[in-house]
Structures are given as C-alpha cells and as structure tokens.
Structure 1
C-alpha cells in the first residue's frame, strides 16, 4: 500500500513540476523527441499561403514573374463601355470556322450557361423567366446583334447578366456565339449557314481582337499552357 501511495505522490510531483515550467525549461510539442502522429504537428506538404523559409518572403503564394503572361493568353482590346460594345459589334468577327463540331459544342455550352434565362430557342423564355425570377430578357430576333456583340457581352456581361469570362474559355465563347447566331437566324426565318468542311475547318486562329502582329505571335502558342515573356 505504501508503495502505491509513494508512486502516486512521485507522479503527482512530477506533473506539478512539468506544468510549472516555462517555455525555456521545457520543450514544445514540435520539439519532442517522440511524437504520435507527427503529421499533426508538421504538415507533410506545403499549404496555400503558409509561411516557409523556402519561399521568397516566407510566403507560399507568389505572383507571376514580372513581364510574363500565360502562354496562349489573348488580349481583348475592346473596352467595357458603350463604345467598346459598338466597336466589337461592328468589327469583331468569329475566328472559329463554322463546323458541325463547333456548332454542337456551342449548343451544349449554351444549354448549360444561357438557356436558363434566354430559353433553348433564344426567345427569352428560359425557366427563370417563366418562373418570374428574372424579367426583361429579350428575344434574339428583337434586336440587331452580331457574333462580335455576343462575344463582348459574354466577356463583360451587360445589365443584370454577369460575365462568363471565368466560366468559359476563348474558344468556348466563340462556339456559343456560333450557336446564338444560328438561333437568331431561326427566329428570324433566315437561311441557315453552310458548314465549313475539309482543310478549311482548322485554318482560323482563335483571337479575341482584330489581328495584328502581336496577336498573331500569341496565336502561335495557343496549344501550350506554359508561360512566356511579353514580346517573345
């Protein structure tokens, strides 16, 4: 009995001594020689925004190297205002060839992003309009639109419609523009466009602005996702 009592006293004294020690007298959890589940103390990998000496400024998240752009990125020279819209409407043309594949992909994307408001036929009677969640969505045949203006609106958004630049790629926006143009022609009772086939189907570069020497240089790299410096 005395042995058990002494053991209990020694254990209690030991706990009191350890608990009363300050940071200089005892090691921290991360400095223990034996650890259970060490990954709970030290992350096995680097985490977003964590501080670590291996990174410049001790921060994991770094800005791109100054003067670089993503390979395949294309500038868009039309501003987000009435003048930019009018210029895109008059001058911006769809660089994608009008093929069955592009039109089919445009319809698929349109049904995902656009039909809920504009309707599957483009008459402005999407499910949200029918349920009176939003109002005032015009039919495509009620105003003069071009593929350039369609793209501009998808890029920036307009009125209560937000931008879809983050949800869709350059190519996808142009494919949607092809489908919207086809819907507009159907609503107006106009003749359907003929598809481009054969060797001509892949000749048009994907560009967001009128072609110039700088953009032509960019377009040569659209299939590579690495990074290049400006003017390279």
Structure 2
C-alpha cells in the first residue's frame, strides 16, 4: 500500500511540474517550443513580398515570352481567330492522338455532351436546341456547306479544332470547357460523322 502511495505521489508531482512549467511567467510572449515549424512559416516566397534574389526585387516574375504554362497549350498563340489563321491551322495542325477504339468512343461521348444539342446526334444539324425553332440549324457534316467556304465533309483536323477553340457564327468558343486532348477526340468523332 505504501508503494502505491509513493508511485501515485510521484505521478502527481510530475504532472504538477509539467503544468507549472508550461505556464508562462506573464512577462514574455513566447509560445514555447513549436512542432513542425515549416507549417507555420512557409518555405516558399510569398509572391507579394520583396525578393532579394532578383534585381527588381519582385517574387512573381513575368514569364519569358512564348512560354506556355503547365497544363495549357499554345494553340491560341500560334493561330489567332482570323480567316488566315483558320486556313493555316487547317493546313498545319494535325491530330496528335492515335486513332483507337477507346479514343473514338470517348470522342463520341464528348460530342454528345458538348456538340449534340446543336449539331445533332448524327451531325445533320438537327440537335435538340435547333428543334425548339429558335435557332437556325448548323450545316450537316456530311452534306452541308461551310460558312467559311467548301464542304463540311472536307474540313481538316486543324479547321475543326480551330472552330472548337474559337467558335464560329452562333457557336461560341469551347476552349474553356473542353481540354485540348478531349477536343482532339471530338475531332476524331466529327470525321466519323463526315463520312456517314
């Protein structure tokens, strides 16, 4: 029984010493020891703060001309929204994706999600929005004439991609809604519709 009292008293003394030593003396603003200091003070520079590593002391430097951010593409830098750039894209810009069943299937799903409401399931220009009677039908991919000249069935990879990126007439730009890879998959599916 004596041993239990001694051990209990020792535990209470240690706990009391820990509590007392954790309390400040009221004269300092110290927070004591901190665990994982880098969680409180980030290692990276704050983009709004002065950075002495650069001559102009700015952390957020302007990127070099012509660079492309990760996850973006330079299509908009190469081909502007002009008739000349449309023709250049048609001649020089080709689908980098391999024509596989998986890409074709994904292209069909994306087409149905983004393009079908206007262009229709088969690309005949009879989509659900057109059937409301408030919008004129877009030209058919297999038999229609392009508003830029030529037949819709003759549109190349680059011309279709350019139109998806910038839009045309009543069709708005889909650059912000559809990723570059998905645009190419839609281009594959449009080629399927051109041949029907």
1:35 is matched with: none
CA distance in structure 2 between the aligned counterparts of 1:90 and 1:153, rounded to whole angstroms: 14
CA apart distance, 1:65:
4.0
Partner of 1:67: 63
What is the number of residues matched between the two proteins? 128
Q: Could you tell me how far 1:83 is from its partner in structure 2?
A: 0.6
Deviation at 1:167, TM superposition (A): 0.3
Deviations 1:29-79 (A, max 9, x none): xxxxxxxxxxxxxxxxxxxxxxxxx7727xxxxx96421742243211111
Q: Report the 3-state secondary structure (helix = DSSP H, G, I; strand = E; otherwise coil) of the residue aligned with 1:151.
A: helix
The answer to whether residue 121 in structure 2 is matched with residue 123 in structure 1 is no
Distance 1:139 1:64, change over 3 A: farther
SS in 2 for 1:88: helix
Is residue 2:189 matched to residue 1:176?
A: no
- The aligned residue for residue 113 of structure 1 is 114
1:162 aligned counterpart, secondary structure: coil
The 1:102/1:64 distance shift into structure 2, 3 A limit, reads farther
- Please, what TM-score do these two structures have when normalized by structure 1? 0.52
Q: How many Å separate the matches in 2 of 1:64 and 1:111? A: 41
- How well do the aligned residues superpose, as a CA RMSD in angstroms? 1.9
Distance change >3 Å, CA 131–CA 64, structure 1 → 2: farther
Q: Distance in 1 between matches of 2:92 and 2:47?
A: 46
- Tell me the residue number matched to 2:162: 152
The 3-state SS of whatever aligns with 2:136 is: coil
Query: How far apart, in 2, do the equivalents of 1:74 and 1:117 lie?
Result: 27
Instruction: Tell me the distance in 2 between the aligned counterparts of 1:100 and 1:55.
Output: 46
Poorly superposed stretches of 4+, deviation over 6 Å:
none
**Equivalent position of 1:163 in the other structure:** 173
Post-superposition offset of 1:85: 0.9
**Unaligned ranges ≥5, structure 2:** 1-45, 50-58, 145-150
Say whether 1:56 aligns with 2:57.
no
| Aligned counterparts of 1:180 and 1:111: Cα–Cα separation in 2 | 11
1:130 CA displacement = 1.4
